[in-house]
Structure 1
Amino acid sequence: TFVSRCQVDLSALSREQTHKLELQLEEGEGHLVLLVTLTASATVSISDLSVNSLEDQKEREEILKRYSPLRIFHNLKDVGFLQVKVIRAEGLMAADVTGKSDPFCVVELNNDRLLTHTVYKNLNPEWNKVFTFNVKDIHSVLEVTVYDEDRDRSADFLGKVAIPLLSIQNGEQKAYVLKNKQLTGPTKGVIYLEIDVIFNAVKASLRTLIPKEQKYIEEENRLSKQLLLRNFIRMKRCVMVLVNAAYYVNSCFDWDSPPRSLAAFVLFLFVVWNFELYMIPLVLLLLLTWNYFLIISGKDNRQRDTVVEDMLEDEEEEEDKDDKDSEKKGFINKIYAIQEVCVSVQNILDEVASFGERIKNTFNWTVPFLSWLAIVALCMFTVILYFIPLRYIVLVWGINKFTKKLRSPYAIDNNELLDFLSRVPSDVQVVQYQELKPDPSHSPYKKKKNNLG
């Protein structure tokens, strides 16, 4: 329902500066308070396969020079360059009654979104398009979605892939198995992509410590029994780690195992007597290093989270059932208050579980770039705490916090540790970003060869 509106003359605003505007609403009471910053948009482009920035030697050298280690402090927001070749798809789902589809492809990086043309009446379309993006956060995820164009209705979903930028192997043409909307399992068809990403590692590291860019368009959270149960199980597993640790410590006090309790007692006396503050980051550093050597030696005991994977698949089936039930009954739409509370609980469980999983995945080297960054940070903290008295560190921190709003009134307050952890994928995201292996028997080109044979 239309309420009111107002207009902003952007030509009167200076660039690269935050303006606080209080605008009177034209057709209603009250006013609107906005913070507006005019800045250059991310460089995005679309072209044919014949026009390729990285194949032009001169352009490639310019791009490499632009993101070289020597240009660390030149435009800190410009972290890297991404080129995506959308070549073709094979064996897509038939969305029309004729047994064909009218597929087109949408390529998204954060809030940048580009589309290919539509190939009509074809299950094996060739697009041969090149997309380029400026990378503002190397921890972003590239999303490529295939839709079926429908002039009378909204486009039908055919398949999707989500590719973290840090997992990309430059210059390699790969067949990605298309997944369902929840990215939990395969759907029909594969898409062929060739992706290149060039970035400045120092800029990328600094960008990790500031808040993530929020998507302008996000799907509204829905109430799901399966999702609620999954989030509860995930949180329970995180809490049980702490509970089991508490039980283990308590068993040492109870002398359930005398040798273990004696060893714990001696360790306690040694650590407390020699404790210094710098030992806290040092212990975390040693834990990260220990896990790294376990991984490279092949003794890594990490296992795929089959529980989360199974729950994701069940959730997809549950959502399909819920959709059918809602069409028949629709009673849940009448109890908005209960639904809102349940969605809030569902989201809180997800946040708590994700927080614990992100900490675990940092130490498990799920994203090596982030684990190496944690090692560098812990080394710095260990040295700082060893050489600088704690009161000076607290003094600098307090002065920074108290004067931050005075120095930059519109700055968004943030916590660098939480911003870092927000880049580490949770167990659910690890499953969603996992590549599926293509089935060679599903390729139409293979079938043609077999028929000719």
Structure 2
Amino acid sequence: MLGNSWPGCKRAPRMVLKHVRRQHEELREQLEQGCDDLMEVAESYFPDVLQHFQRNSKLAESSKRLKSQIWSSVVTILLVKAKDLPLAEDGSKLNDTHFKFRLGNEKYKSKSSWTERWLEQFDLHLFDEDQNLEIALWNRNTLYGKAIIDLSVFQRENTHGIWKPLEDCPGEVHLMLTISGTTALETISDLKAFKEDPREAQLLRERYKFLRCLQNLRDVGHLTVKVFGATGLAAADIGGKSDPFCVLELGNARLQTQTEYKTLTPNWNKIFTFNVKDITQVLEITVFDEDRDHRVEFLGKLVIPLLRIKSGVKRWYTLKDKNLCVRAKGNSPQIQLELTVVWSEIRAVCRALQPKEEKLIQQEAKFKRQLFLRNVNRLKEIIMDILDAARYVQSCFEWESPVRSSIAFVFWIVACVYGDLETVPLVLLLIILKNWLVRLITGTTDAAAHYDYEYDEDDDDDKEKEEKKSIKERLQAIQEVSQTVQNTIGYLASLGESTINTFNFSVPELTWLAVVLLLGAILVLHFVPLRWLLLFWGLMKFSRRLLRPNTIPNNELLDFLSRVPDNEEINQYRELPPSAPTDQTRNNPKKKLKGS
């Protein structure tokens, strides 16, 4: 008996030791959670004190460590979502879950979420001795599960989408993980000494040739980006220099170069490759200045559509500001690139007819007065174009130009007599052909070349321009736009309410009239072909000006809906009871609300 029980006794200390280690780990994590909560409370009540404390303690310690040792790579983690997470003790769903990431001495905490979807990005620095990324799932102050990811097994300069199961609990977490900014020897760091292999280029072309277009429809193409360097960057540091690095994004794939310190003309000399999933995507190239406190400062940005790339051409591109409208700050900042894209036309066509890939990380648009005014003006221009087209058609009916009206009349008769369903795409095709001819003759290549952008480069510029304007001018501009938006929204709401009230017997006489008209429309559409109805309608429109020159142009449907009152008018038409309310009811709005 003693011999049979001895192995169990031998395993008992190990189980106790494992339990003690787990309790110690949970206690350490709870202490860190408590410290984080205290820091959040202090940040909300004493932001100046907390900033001073961080500057002189925590940030100073991390800055000292980072200055003494240079990292080998940057690990970019995009926390997307999780699934099958554990339930709370009462069986309900966790409503305050968040993840903690640890890589060496660097730690990050995600925001809390109850939808199991975060879409939050973190950048951690990878040192040679720290290759294990620790992930912990927390709900308030309770640790539910954790996982460890070995970063040494992942290929550098490539974005990996992984589902990582959690230990000690059910559930998986979805991460987009990229290890880039690598200065090690396994990546190409000197493009001057790099020579392309002709065999690899030939295999790449054969991979996307026409005979293999149906083998892998998701593999649309292959993009190669050579980043040589930049010049004329703005000085972000006190000494008149910057620590620039370049970030390249294609869809949800994100790569970056190493950081070149204390220079305004960095030479990165890096080469990157991307798998193209959609040829209509754009390549986003952004240059940042690196700071020791994990903050970055914007230096310039560039967006290049893949369809506009001239493969194998080495050239300089001008860097733009954050809004991609004007030149970025600096001495004419530029970046030197060489782009090569190989793709399959058939796969690209098949992909263009499928849903577009969702960009997981997008900058939240905050409310800005100038952005609001610009969007209103954009919508106003579209509405004005529609109104101009309607006026042009109406002018044909009014015979303002006899030649144009005669041509339109003949075209309408021919289309109604000989037209069919294929006439609709034919008309759209003729519009495209007309725009192509105009573009070919005039030589214009950009439809938005005439667009007048009024972006501000920075918030400080916003304040300076606002100070130059008088208060009266600002209030007048806001009042005009607000009045236009208010009237437009009111008209659309009134039209929608009138349409609804037509069907719900708010005015029974008009509803019964609509019933009679609908029954008549059913009979007419059943016995009379549609083309003859269109021909009759066109004859009435073209002959109205000739037979009755003093009549006013109208739309019968809108004229009928204008007779149906909206909810505001119905409320105004409602009669009040003859007895006046008492003073007590008049002074007590709650009773009045209950009575109504």
Is the pair's TM-score, using the shorter chain for normalization, greater than 0.5?
yes
Match of 1:125 among 266, 270, 276: 266
Report the Cα offset of residue 323 of structure 1.
Answer: 7.0
Structure 1 residue 150, shift from structure 2 partner:
0.6
Instruction: Provide Cα deviations, 1:323-356, integer angstroms capped at 9, x if missing partner.
Output: 7899xxxxxxxxxxxxxxx9xx9xxx9xxxxxxx
For CA contacts below 8 A with separation 6 or more, give which structure has more relative contact order: 1
Gaps of 5+ in 1: 4-19, 327-341, 350-453
TM-score by length of 2: 0.47
Question: Is 2:370 the partner of 1:229?
Answer: no
Report the equivalent of 2:93: 30
2:233 aligns with 92
8 A Cα contact 1:53 1:59, kept in partner: no
Rounded Cα–Cα distance in structure 1 between residues aligned with 2:273 and 2:225: 6
Q: Pairwise CA RMSD of aligned residues?
A: 3.7
Deviation string 1:214-272 (CA, Å, 9 cap, x unpaired) is 11111001111111111111111111122112122222223333333333222211111
Which string of whole-angstrom CA distances, capped at 9 and with x for unpartnered residues, describes residues 55-91 of structure 1?
2111111111111111111121110000000001112
Q: Does 1:251 align with 2:395?
A: yes
2:108 alignment partner in structure 1: none
Offset at residue 320 of structure 1 (A): 3.9
Deviation at 1:41, TM superposition (A): 8.5
- CA contact 2:188–2:194 (8 Å) conserved in 1: no
Q: State the match for 2:28 in structure 1.
A: none
Tell me the equivalent position of 1:384: none
Q: Are residues 1:315 and 2:455 paired?
A: yes
Distance 1:159 1:137, change over 3 A: same
Q: Does 1:299 align with 2:438?
A: no
CA distance in 2, matches of 1:132, 1:52: 18
Normalising by structure 1, we get a TM-score of 0.60
Q: Cα gap change, 1:245/1:279 in structure 2, threshold over 3 Å: closer, same or farther? A: same
Query: Aligned partners of 1:96, 1:282: CA distance in 2, in Å?
Result: 60
Q: In structure 1, give the amino acid aligned to 2:392.
A: Y
* Pair 1:272 & 2:416 matched: yes
Q: Which residue of 2 aligns with 1:58?
A: 199
Match of 1:238 in 2: 382
DSSP-derived class of the 2:455 partner: helix
Distance 1:72 1:274 in 2: 40
The yes-or-no answer on 1:110 pairing with 2:223 is no
Task: Say if 2:407 is the partner of 1:263.
Answer: yes
- What per-residue deviation string (whole Å, max 9, x for no partner) do you get for residues 156-201 of structure 1? 1111111111111111111011111111111222110011000001
**Alpha-carbon distance in 2 for matches of 1:37, 1:99:** 42
Q: Distance in 2 between matches of 1:232 and 1:215?
A: 25
Q: Which residue of 1 aligns with 2:224?
A: 83
When structure 1 is superposed on structure 2, of 153-162 and 196-205 the one drifting more is 153-162
- SS in structure 1 opposite 2:286? strand
Q: For 1:42-65, what per-residue CA distance to the aligned partner results, in whole angstroms no more than 9, with x for missing partners?
A: 999863345999821111111111
- Given candidates 302, 314, 319, the residue that maps to 1:178 is 319
3-state secondary structure, aligned to 1:210: coil
Asked if the contact 1:119/1:126 (under 8 Å) is kept, the reply is yes
Amino acid at match of 2:285: V
Deviations along 1:275-304, whole A, 9 cap, x unmatched?
A: 1111211222233234334434x3346776
Find the residue that maps to 2:319 and give its secondary structure. Answer: strand
Q: State the alpha-carbon separation in 1 of the partners of residues 217 and 409 from structure 2.
A: 50
Structure 2: distance between partners of 1:220 and 1:291 = 36
Paired AA for residue 315 in structure 1? Y
Q: Does 152-161 or 299-308 show the bigger shift?
A: 299-308
Distance 1:34-1:100 versus aligned 2 partners, 3 A rule: closer
